[in-house]
Amino acid sequence: MVLRRIALVLLAWALPVLWGCAALLFHHIAGDWGAWHWLAVVGWTLAVAGVSVTLSGRMVADTFRRLLAEWTDGSLQGRRQPPYAVAHLATSTWGEHYDPLTAGLLRRSEEWVVRLLPTWRETFWLLIAPVLIPLAVVLPPLRDLLSAVAVRLLGPSTADLLGSRVESLEKGRTDLTRAQQTELYRLERNLHDGAQARLVSIGMTLGAAEALVDRQPPQAKELIGQARESSHAALQELRELVRGILPPVLVERGLADAVRALALDVPLPVTVHGTITRRLEAPLESAVYFAVAELLANAVEHAEASGVRVTFEQDSGRLTVVVEDDGRGGANPQSGSGLAGVEERLGWFDGTLRISSPRGGPTRAVVEVPCA
Amino acid sequence: MRIVVAEDQYLLREGLTHLIRSHGHHVVAAVADAHSALRALRQHRPDLAVLDIRMPPTHSDEGLQLALQIRAERPEASVLILSQHLEQLYARELLANGAAGVGYLLKDRVFNAATFMEAVERVAAGGTALDPEVVSRMMRAEPASSLASLTDREKDVLSLMAEGLSNQAIAGRLFLSEGAISKYTTSIFAKLGIEHNGAANRRVRAVLAYLNSPRAV
Ligand SMILES: Nc1ncnc2c1ncn2[C@@H]1O[C@H](COP(=O)(O)OP(=O)(O)OP(=O)(O)O)[C@@H](O)[C@H]1O
Ligand SMILES: [Mg+2]
């Protein structure tokens, strides 16, 4: 793939040179030329150069992006956004004047334009690169300059950055709505099959007891006892449910103590270090809590660890929670739903989950979220 | 016995007051928030404070904070904390300075008047009442190897000891003789390497210190 691209680029750049050489050769053979002929040859060469460079510019720029990746540590990444992103939203919202055929053609052609043609910045880069790169190779101090220029001209533009941001927010919003709906279904189902059903049975049992209380007091007493047991079970179920929605300790004490409380319930020695000086926003707090809960559950379930260490670190604008176990490693977000869910949920808040878990261990998971 | 009740839910406060009175004790104050509770406790110096953990003004853990404060002021004060949910963390905070006169129970325990009043009286008399649910969570959080040497019966006895029951009470619960229970406790302490100590509430602390303490496995 890369080879083919490089070949194409070389070809595109060689074309005008070939034409130039051909003109010179012609000149050599045909002898003296008038100014008119010269003009035609130069013009023709420039035209070929223009077209071929324009058509290959995109690929040349992309190839440079890849080649320079090492020098500019990743700052050239970022996808170029099609310019129709907003138009697309607009047309699909105000449907009255929406003409799918034209819109489709327009979008398709815009897509090709974006895919094929270089931007002004890329063109500018193409103009100066042939000078700058050899210079930088000869004079190593110029490399910093080169990479700065490359970042400026080849890196994503503000519009591109905003575009990808809009895209990721849009995806986040969709995920969030879907997750909320799933959660609501789960709660509805849980209440319906659990506490509600128990309350119905308690009501019925008490009704039966009431009917028996005069004639058969011992049976009535037994029924009342059953009703009491049922109410106990209903409360137990509600408690479990509440714990899954929003653990009470989290509300009462905040994240650090909630994690300490959780750590005590885990059948592994878990030590908790560090403090959180400023309380986070409630939604963020619970996202981090459930992230730690999943990581601890994984350490118990999969790691065969002898202990876990949880560390909090809060600095201006960021909270980091590190969960490390001394187990066998091999954690992989792709092979289950837990870690992927954590990543998604943290993503809603611009948080991240990084996992290092080589085979043979240890596993180190780092949760990072922005916090005011 | 003179008791102060602090609980913000009207029905439960009335229910508790009624239950305690019907067992021949005296409810000297029944209040609905933490500030009034502190005032009542300082004023009446009751034999027992029954405190809801979550009360106004902040609806977080004021009952627990109040208990810790009152026991710091008056170490012999007995407190019984009631809660909708139980946390090992809270249990450990409550018991950190001694288990004498401390109780921590689920609100549902009120349903069973006899056992509940038994716990009330035990705590007021300087004993301990830890909810079976907290104890079982502590046992569940133990690494498998740690209690592996105990028989099932011994585990039952260990749980009941952790709840704060005396040998006599344990014997009653398990339908065994007191002598049999005392044999079980000796064997449990020997197997787990816990220092034996007679008083039931000291025993609670020793057992809890063993359960879920960070130790090599
Ligand atoms: N701490 C860990 N040590 C070793 N392996 C781990 C650890 N955490 C996760 N893994 C591995 O990574 C996989 C993915 O974990 P993940 O939490 O995403 O899914 P799961 O735990 O298998 O299922 P779920 O969380 O949905 O119940 C696990 O199946 C397990 O093999
Ligand atoms: Mg998992």
Kindly report, residue by residue over A224-253, the tens digit of the pLDDT.
999 999 999 999 999 999 998 999 999 999
Instruction: Give the number of the ligand closest to the Cα of residue A297.
Output: 2
Give the mean pLDDT of A92-109: 62
Residue B140 and residue A265: Cβ atoms within 8 Å? Answer: yes
Inter-axis angle of helices A2-30 and A35-68, to 10 degrees? 160
Q: How far apart are CA B18 and CA B32, in angstroms?
A: 16
What tens digit of pLDDT does each residue of B47-81 get? 999 999 999 988 999 999 999 999 999 999 999 99
Angstrom distances, CA of residue B140 to CA of A210, A259, A296, B164: 40, 18, 15, 18
Q: What is the 3-state secondary structure (H, E, C) of chain A?
A: CHHHHHHHHHHHHHHHHHHHHHHHHHHHHHCCCCHHHHHHHHHHHHHHHHHHHHHHHHHHHHHHHHHHCCCCCCCCCCCCCCCCHHHHHHHHHCHHHCCHHHHHHHHHHHHHHHHHCCCHHHHHHHHHHHHHHHHHHHCCCHHHHHHHHHHHHHCCCHHHHHHHHHHHHHHHHHHHHHHHHHHHHHHHHHHHHHHHHHHHHHHHHHHHHHHHCCCCHHHHHHHHHHHHHHHHHHHHHHHHHHHHHCCHHHHHHCHHHHHHHHHHHCCCCEEEECCCCCCCCHHHHHHHHHHHHHHHHHHHHHCCCCCEEEEEEEECCEEEEEEEECCCCCCCHHHCCHHHHHHHHHHCCCCEEEEECCCCCCEEEEEEEECC
pLDDT at A99: 65
B217 within some domain: no
My answer on whether B37 and B96 are in the same domain is yes
- CB contacts, 8 Å: B143 with chain A: 267-269
What tens digit of pLDDT does each residue of B16-41 get? 999 999 999 999 999 999 999 999 99
A177 pocket-lining for ligand 1 (C-beta < 6 Å): no
Q: Which of A268, A251, A249 lies closest to A259 in space, CA to CA?
A: A249
What CATH number should be reported for the domain holding residue B51? 3.40.50.2300
Lowest mean pLDDT among A56-60, A144-148, B137-141: A56-60
Q: How far is B87 from chain A (nearest CA, A)?
A: 7
My answer on whether B119 and B181 are in the same domain is no
Q: Evaluate whether B84 touches B110 at the Cβ level (below 8 Å).
A: no
Q: Which of A232, A64, A244 lies closest to A154 in space, CA to CA?
A: A64
How many beta carbons lie within 10 A of that of residue A305, not counting itself? 22
Lowest mean pLDDT among A28-42, A119-133, B31-45, B66-80: A28-42
Q: How far apart are CA B50 and CA B18, in angstroms?
A: 13
Reported confidence tier of residue A89, pLDDT bands at 50, 70, 90: very low
Report the separation in Å between the CA atom of A363 and the middle of ligand 2, taken as the mean of its atom positions. 13
- CB contacts, 8 Å: B108 with chain A: 231-232, 235
Inter-axis angle of helices A35-68 and A142-154, to 10 degrees? 100
Report the separation in Å between the CA atom of B58 and the middle of ligand 2, taken as the mean of its atom positions. 35
Q: Residue A93 above 50 pLDDT?
A: no
Give the mean pLDDT of B139-145: 81
- Among A246, A252, A279, A309, the strongest candidate for a mutation testing the B interface, having the largest count of B CBs within 10 A, is A252
Per-residue tokens: B66: 């109040």
Lowest mean pLDDT among A22-36, A40-54, A166-180, A291-305: A22-36
pLDDT at A72: 63
Count the domains in chain B.
2
Residues spanned by the domain of B178: 136-210
Tell me the domain boundaries of chain A: 2-83+119-156, 164-245, 248-370
What tens digit of pLDDT does each residue of B76-128 get? 999 999 999 999 999 999 988 888 899 999 999 998 999 999 999 999 999 99
Reported confidence tier of residue A287, pLDDT bands at 50, 70, 90: very high
Inter-axis angle of helices A35-68 and A120-138, to 10 degrees? 80
- Among B86, B92, B108, the strongest candidate for a mutation testing the A interface, having the largest count of A CBs within 10 A, is B108
My answer on whether B123 and B198 are in the same domain is no
**Given the DSSP bridges, would you call strands B128-130 and B79-83 parallel, antiparallel or unpaired?**
unpaired
Residue A239 and residue B85: Cβ atoms within 8 Å? Answer: yes
My answer on whether B101 and B181 are in the same domain is no
Q: What percent of chain A has pLDDT over 70?
A: 84
Reported confidence tier of residue B196, pLDDT bands at 50, 70, 90: low
B114 within some domain: yes
- CB contacts, 8 Å: A251 with chain B: 60
Q: Residue B209 above 70 pLDDT?
A: yes
My answer on whether B90 and B176 are in the same domain is no
Per-residue tokens: B88: 């090992």
Q: Residue B214 above 60 pLDDT?
A: no
My answer on whether B40 and B109 are in the same domain is yes
Sheet holding B2-6, edge to edge: B26-31, B2-6, B48-52, B79-83, B102-106, B128-130
Q: Which of B114, B151, B205, B88 lies closest to A259 in space, CA to CA?
A: B88
Q: How far apart are CA A77 and CA A169, in angstroms?
A: 18
Backbone angles phi, psi at B136, to 5 degrees: -70, -30
pTM above 0.80, yes or no: no
Domain boundary among B130, B160, B190: B130
B81 within some domain: yes
B19 within some domain: yes
pLDDT, greater one: B213 or A345 = A345
Lowest mean pLDDT among A46-55, B39-48, B75-84: A46-55
pLDDT at A259: 96
Q: Whose CA is nearest to atom 3 of ligand 1?
A: A303
CATH says A248-370 is which class? alpha beta
Q: Residue A218 above 90 pLDDT?
A: yes
Q: Evaluate whether B33 touches B20 at the Cβ level (below 8 Å).
A: no
My answer on whether B10 and B105 are in the same domain is yes
How many beta carbons lie within 10 A of that of residue B104, not counting itself? 28
Q: Residue A33 above 70 pLDDT?
A: no
Residue A266 and residue B111: Cβ atoms within 8 Å? Answer: no
What CATH number should be reported for the domain holding residue B201? 1.10.10.10
Reported confidence tier of residue A342, pLDDT bands at 50, 70, 90: very high
Residue B60 and residue A252: Cβ atoms within 8 Å? Answer: yes
Q: Evaluate whether A245 touches A187 at the Cβ level (below 8 Å).
A: yes
Question: Which residues have a Cβ under 8 Å from the Cβ of A56 and sit 6 or more positions away?
Answer: A8, A9, A11, A12, A13
Rounded to the nearest angstrom, the gap between the alpha carbon of residue B36 and the centroid of all alpha carbons in its chain is 23
Domain boundary among B99, B130, B161: B130
A291 pocket-lining for ligand 1 (C-beta < 6 Å): no
What tens digit of pLDDT does each residue of B156-170 get? 999 999 999 989 999
- Among A198, A246, A264, the strongest candidate for a mutation testing the B interface, having the largest count of B CBs within 10 A, is A264
Q: Evaluate whether B108 touches A235 at the Cβ level (below 8 Å).
A: yes
In the DSSP assignment, the letter for residue B194 is P
My answer on whether B91 and B160 are in the same domain is no
Domain boundary among B114, B130, B146: B130
pLDDT at A70: 66
pLDDT at A17: 75
Residue A265 and residue B88: Cβ atoms within 8 Å? Answer: yes
